[in-house]
Structure 1
Amino acid sequence: MFLGLALGLSFLSLAQAQETPSAPAPAPDCAAKAADKKLAGAALNSFMKKCERDAATTTCDAAALEKKLKGAAKKSFTKKCVTDATAKKPE
């Protein structure tokens, strides 16, 4: 009986990890920082990608903390959240 309960709770944690909050918007200050640094071309692309990913990671970590996720569930949730947040949207 306890094994079934433990497995049920584990499944519930994994199911929660699959839920993704609305993707955070890219950090508007990334563009401002890039403009201040006068970046262009490949340097601009690289900087924006890293800046937006860092901002998404911070936001997703906060969301995981709010959901009280820990361990593998937190890692899985954060990874998917960051991937969703930084994915290129179809134009």
Structure 2
Amino acid sequence: MPHEDEIEKAVKKHFGEAGSERIMPELREKVEEQSSEVEELRGEVRELRKKVEKIDKLGEMLESAGQLAILKEMIREAGEKVVEED
């Protein structure tokens, strides 16, 4: 993004000194508003990333729990076979 002085030069060149004095405050205000909105969005993105990380961890835990359930079922079935064989 161009620096403020570069923008001001371009505005002066296009609109002249008087136009520049009228337009630059509006441009600064819009840039400040957009900067504020960008910071808000960055904060929201950070929060969403944290939530995604938690969801990923939960998914891993659920996957592990599913594998544990399968292992328990296999052990139970093996135990039943041993009991049946006796």
Higher-helix-fraction structure: 2
Is the shorter-chain TM-score for this pair beyond 0.5, marking a shared fold?
Answer: no
Normalising by structure 1, we get a TM-score of 0.37
Larger relative contact order, structure 1 or 2 (CA cutoff 8 Å, min sep 6): 1
